[in-house]
Amino acid sequence: MKVALVLSVIALGCSALVTKQERRFPDDFLFGTATASYQIEGGWNADDKGENIWDHMTHNHPNVIKDGSNGDVAADTYHNYKRDVEMMRELGLDAYRFSLSWSRILPDGLSNPVSAAGIAFYNNYIDEMLKYGITPMVTLYHWDLPQKLQDLGGFANPLFPDWFEEYARVVYDNFGDRVKHWITFNEPREICLEGYGSTTKAPILNATGIGSYLCAKYLVLAHAKAYHLYNNEYKSSQGGECGITISVNWFGPLTDTEEDRFAAEIRRQAEWGLYAEPIFSEQGGFPKEFTERVAQKSAEQGYRSSRLPEFTEEEKQFVRGASDFFGVNHYTAYLISATEHITQNVVPSLYDDVGVGVYVPEEWPQSASSWLTESPDSILNVLNHLNQKYNNPKFYITENGWSSPPSSGLIDDDRIRYYRAALENCLDAIDAGVRLQGYMAWSLMDNFEWMEGLTERFGLYHVDFEDPLRPRTARKSAFVYKEIIKTRVIDHSYEPATMTMTIDEGR
């Protein structure tokens, strides 16, 4: 009796374990990795490529980059693209998300001239992926605006949507026969709030509380133009989908009080609601409470109208619903308080408009990036929240990842722990009814990490930036990710048998 009881308890324990372990990702779930043109390509002046805002900033103000490095060569994908695709095959990726350099295709930003060399480079990259059954997911804009368009005001110019539409047309015309997943913009928040409203991204305008809001309006309109262009003129013949990727970190209340819950909501509206609400909400337009807040602050400060521009009714209708999916870049979480941890902010600025405090618990493991900790269940919170708020759209996680210091080598158990937890959350979300269709790990390989230069590494593959050939070597996390993709299961006890990467048969 006693033995039988003990045995059945063990059996019960095991079966619970087994069911947990056997939760599977669907066969058509797209596992991939992500990169961005300026961060990996190099070839900054190859052939007739035009200057972009990162070339311009790093060449004219090298001191803004932590280690004085730049993306002139980066991982030299311009010359190593076949090796990149070989790595995708080693990992057994279903998909690969990368971005196009606007000024490599259109050196001056507008659609004349078109660079034959730029088009050829991307054709080769795409064809090499397709040869091995890897689905390209292409971002039109990941932060490298042609400098000539920046000189004209960039995203703050009301003509920006027309420029972007013109560029999108060239892109769909040239690559749309083979590319079926389009992302217009990577991370509006970073483009607008960091690039226009602070000094943490090119073009370091620091137009706080004004430029960042202008950028938000014209970016959203530009997205909608590129979406409708695809929808009206390409979709029926090319059969793809077009969406946008927004950075959505989790902002939860520090305490479970009315004040803190509202503080978290206002912060979410300011961080990503500004870009998500006009596109994905039923009513359209900028988020309600945040709009009221900026209007009120602007009035108090003596502005005759709100610093946050408005959409006309016609613009609202044009933007509303203009996306086939919601691309989520997710990394971390923050706890928000109405009364604690408040810091002084420049006036006017988005952070002053929001006026809340931010707290990160010490027990959340810290990466090599100051802003990135591993926070429990943050992907699940984000996906459940967006799913409810925006009525069950189709989602991709288009970025998620973990940084380590340059010296940390190939054994990256902290990255493995982070990825496993994140992917468990993805399964939880799928179980809860979220239509999550894919996951792109950031990043395929170490790359130029913007203002942090080469001081933070996000790669599944290590890149040796001292070597002119930029050799890539698989980290331990690459083997773990490969096993997850192959089995569609997260085995928390899996350990790679060797650190030698090979390509599996059938790829």
The residues binding ligand GBH (CB under 6 A) are 36, 39, 186-187, 190, 194, 200, 247, 329, 331, 370-371, 399, 442, 449, 458
Annotation marks residue 310 as catalytic: no
Pairing of strands 435-442, 394-399: parallel
Residue 63: helix, strand or coil by DSSP? helix
Respond yes or no: is residue 399 known to be catalytic: yes
Q: Give the integer Cα–Cα distance in Å for 128 and 130.
A: 6
Q: Of the two residues 43 and 401, which places its CB atom closer to ligand GBH in the complex?
A: 401
Write the burial class of residue 505 (CB in 10 Å: 0-12 exposed, 13-18 middle, 19+ buried).
Answer: exposed
**Closer residue to ligand GBH (CB): 247 or 306:** 247
Shortest distance, CB of residue 275 to ligand GBH, whole angstroms? 13
In terms of Cβ atoms closer than 10 Å to its own Cβ (0-12, 13-18, 19+), residue 256 is exposed
Contact 486, 504 (CB under 8 A): yes
Residue 370: CB minimum distance to ligand GBH, A: 6
Decide if 25 contacts 31 (C-beta within 8 A): yes
Nearer to ligand GBH, 33 or 39 (CB): 39
C-beta of 267 vs 320, nearer to ligand GBH: 267
129 CB-near residues (< 8 Å, 6+ apart): 85, 88, 96, 135, 136
Crossing angle (nearest 10°) for helices 77-91 and 116-131: 20
Beta bridge partners of 334: 251
> Between residues 251 and 318, which has the closer beta carbon with respect to ligand GBH?
251
HSE (side-chain half, CA atoms, 13 Å) at 18 = 6
Catalytic residue among 51, 90, 241, 399: 399
Q: Which is nearer to ligand GBH, 45 or 370 (CB)?
A: 370
Q: Closest distance between ligand GBH and the C-beta of residue 353, in Å?
A: 17
Minimum gap (Å) between residue 183 Cβ and ligand GBH: 11
Structure tokens at 97: 């998300």
**Three-state SS letters, 270-300:** HHHHHHHHHHHCCCCCCCHHHHHHHHHHHHH
Look at the chain and count its residues.
507
Least distance CB 139 / ligand GBH (angstroms): 9
Q: Which residues pair with 397 in a beta bridge?
A: 328, 439
Q: Which of 15, 14, 18, 23 is nearest to 488 (CA)?
A: 23
* Residue 418: CB minimum distance to ligand GBH, A: 13
Which residues participate in catalysis according to the annotation? 187, 399
